[in-house]
Amino acid sequence: MTSVAAQHLPYDLTDPYRSLSLNTATTKRWTLAEAVDGAARAGLGAIGLWRDRVHEVGVAAAAKLVADAGLRVSSLCRGGFLTAPGDGQSALDDNRRAIDEAAALGTRELVMVMGGIADRDLAAARARVEERLALLAPYAAERGVRLALEPLHPMFCADRAVISTLAQALTMARPYPAETVGVVVDTFHLWWDPLLEDQIAQAGAEGRISSYQVCDWLNPMAADPLLSRGMMGDGVIDFATIGGWVRAAGYRGDVEVEIFNAAVWEADGHSVIETMKQRYRELVLPALVG
């Protein structure tokens, strides 16, 4: 299993891609084996896994594939969807399975997308998230897995995630130890937030930054907002500024690139990774290096 220390190697311009992680959603058409191979050949240090890709081969085989390739698993995506009315039992069961899978894959970070609203009662949906998080946190703690709460852009509040800001995620995380509940900093979801600098600093001070995920905000947006994520440099996000805040907050973990974008998905996976490396080195890494 990859140790936490190994995930927190310093960034190094002589080995610039050591902390760069390919999220499997970026090369959506690739199988897990293809993505692992592509990432390893490209000299990346890590890979971020989606559960559907893992399930295609089984957890044990996926863990072996990644380990044999010498990659870290920067995060497992995703648990969550805790907002549905009712007893939530099936969601809780699925989240416990996701925690087990994260442990078996050797990653500490389980990305949690909280779910949208089934009716008009946003406050009740948020309350259900808090209640169910309390049921899952001990289970995660016992397995050395951290529930990484991901605030999604407010345009997804209705259909996908009732946590919309880093401040809100931190408030939900705060009742728990930092090693049990963390937060995800994803530039696409958070770049607009006028409180972002302070909240990243706060998340860092609490030791709760589970993951730094980078991709750009396209302007104009894609017709499907979900697919409006772009390669770094193709949109309006200032990675130097946000990266500087992440560095100042003490984060030294992997940097994951997760892009949902029809054109990226159509392109050859290897060329996507080459572009990703180039943009990372030019736009993202300089702000992270001391």
84 is an interface residue for its own copies by CB under 8 A: no
Q: Which is nearer to its own copies, 61 or 158 (CB)?
A: 158
Convert residues 135-174 into a mask of x (bound to its own copies by CB under 8 A) and - (unbound): ------------------xxx-xxx----xx-xx------
Q: Minimum Å distance from CB 131 to its own copies?
A: 17
| From 221, 248, 263, 289, residue interacting with its own copies (rule: CB under 8 A) | 221
87 is an interface residue for its own copies by CB under 8 A: no
278 is an interface residue for its own copies by CB under 8 A: no
DSSP secondary structure string, 121-176? -HHHHHHHHHHHHHHHHHHHHHTT-EEEE-PPPGGGTTTTBS--SHHHHHHHHTTS
Return d(Cα 46, Cα 264) in angstroms, integer: 20
Q: Alpha helices of 43-108 — where are they, by DSSP H?
A: 51-57, 59-68, 89-105
For 258, half-sphere exposure in the C-beta direction (CA atoms, 13 angstrom radius) is 26
| From 3, 90, 130, 241, residue interacting with its own copies (rule: CB under 8 A) | 241
Q: Minimum Å distance from CB 229 to its own copies?
A: 13
219 is an interface residue for its own copies by CB under 8 A: yes
Given phi > 0 = left and psi -120 to 50 = alpha, else beta, which region is 233? left
Using CB atoms within 10 Å of the CB of residue 119, give its burial: 0 to 12 exposed, 13 to 18 middle, 19+ buried. exposed
Q: Which is nearer to its own copies, 220 or 290 (CB)?
A: 220
Are the CB atoms for 239 and 167 separated by under 8 Å?
no
Contacts with its own copies: how many residues (CB under 8 A)? Answer: 35
Q: Which is nearer to its own copies, 60 or 236 (CB)?
A: 236
Q: Which is nearer to its own copies, 2 or 168 (CB)?
A: 168
Q: Which is nearer to its own copies, 191 or 212 (CB)?
A: 191
183 is an interface residue for its own copies by CB under 8 A: no
| From 86, 224, 271, 290, residue interacting with its own copies (rule: CB under 8 A) | 224
Collapse the DSSP code of 115 into the 3-class scheme (helix H, G, I; strand E, B; otherwise coil) and give the result.
Answer: strand
Q: Are strands 216-217 and 229-230 parallel, antiparallel or unpaired?
A: antiparallel
116 is an interface residue for its own copies by CB under 8 A: yes
Q: Minimum Å distance from CB 173 to its own copies?
A: 14
Return d(Cα 32, Cα 37) in angstroms, integer: 8
Distances (CA, A) of 211 to 25, 109, 250, 256: 16, 8, 12, 7
Sites of contact with its own copies (CB under 8 A): 116-117, 119-123, 126, 153-155, 157-159, 164-165, 167-168, 191-195, 217, 219-221, 223-225, 235-238, 241
